[in-house]
Structure 1
Amino acid sequence: MTDPALPPQIRAHLPDGQELTGRLHARQETIHGWMYWTGLALWQYSESTGVEPAEYRVWLSTDHVQPLPGQTYDSVPTHRLPQHIPAPDTRWAWTVQQIRGPGGCVTGTAIHDYDCLHSPRGEALNLDQALTALRRPGARACKDCDAAIVLTPLV
Structure 2
Amino acid sequence: MTTPSDDAAESAPVPVRVVLPADPLLGTEQQEVVARLWKRRQTETGWAYLVGLPSYRDLEGGGVEAAEYRVWVRAPDHVRPVDGVDYDQVATERLEPSPTSVVREVLGERRPSGWVLAKVREGRGVLHAPDCEEAPQGAPLLGVEQALNVAENPGTRLCTLCGAAQELTPLLRGFDHITDSAPDDS
Report the TM-score, using the length of structure 1 for normalisation: 0.49
Report the TM-score, using the length of structure 2 for normalisation: 0.41
- Structure in which a larger fraction of residues adopt strand: 1
